Amino acid sequence: MTEPNTAPSAALAGTLAIGGDLPVHRMGFGAMRLVGEGAWGPPRDRDEALAVLRRAVELGVTFIDTADSYGPQIGEQIIREALYPYPKDLVVATKAGFVRTGPSQWHRLGRPEYLRQQVELSLRNLGLERIDLMQLHRIDPEVPLADQLGALVELREEGKIRHIGLSEVGVDELSAARAITPVASVQNQYAPSFRRSEEVLEQCEKDGIAFLPWAPVDRGALAGPDSPLAAAAREHGVSPVQLSLSWLLHRSPVMVPIPGTSRVAHLEENVAAAAVRLTEEETERISRYLGD
Is residue 147 within 8 A of residue 154, CB to CB? The reply is no
SS3 257: coil
Comparing C-alpha atoms, which of 122, 94, 125, 93 is closest to residue 16? 93
In order, the DSSP letters of 5-45 are PSS--GGGG-EEEETTTEEEES--EE-GGGSSGGGBSS-S-
Is residue 101 within 8 A of residue 140, CB to CB? The reply is no
Active-site residue flag, 114: no
The number of angstroms, rounded, from the C-alpha of 210 to the middle of its chain's C-alpha atoms is 10
Q: How far apart are CA 51 and CA 99, in angstroms?
A: 28
Q: Which of 70, 86, 114, 289 is catalytic?
A: 70
Composition of the chain by helix, strand, coil, percent to 5? 40, 20, 40
**Residue 186: beta bridge partners?**
166, 211
Positions marked active-site: 70
